Amino acid sequence: MSHHFPDSSTLTISCSDCEMQGTSVCEDCVVSFIIDRAPDDALVIDASEARAVRLLASAGLLPSLRHVPRTG
């Protein structure tokens, strides 16, 4: 899955910005898998960490990123 972000040096994911928050998809998200976060906490990783997460997910070792930014 490919995402384009304004600042390519970091990836910021805020669950409160995701359409999938509170659904069964959220339970299978890599963000939920990596950390046990408090509600509304964001996960911030740099570009090399994002590549590593994508590689691990493509190898089936992690769930894929299921984040879908809200629009509107």
d(CA 32, CA 26) in angstroms, rounded, equals 7
CB count within 10 Å of CB 70 equals 11
For the chain, how many structural domains are there in total?
1
Angle among Cα 58, 63, 67 to the nearest 5 degrees reads 100
β-partners of residue 14 are 42
The verdict on pTM exceeding 0.75 is: no
Per-residue model confidence (pLDDT) at position 11: 66
Query: By residue range, what is the domain housing residue 44?
Result: 1-72
- For 42, the token pair is 């964001």
Q: Note the pLDDT tens digit of each residue in 20-66.
A: 888 888 877 877 666 556 667 777 788 888 888 888 888 888 777 77
pLDDT band, residue 10 (cuts 50/70/90): low
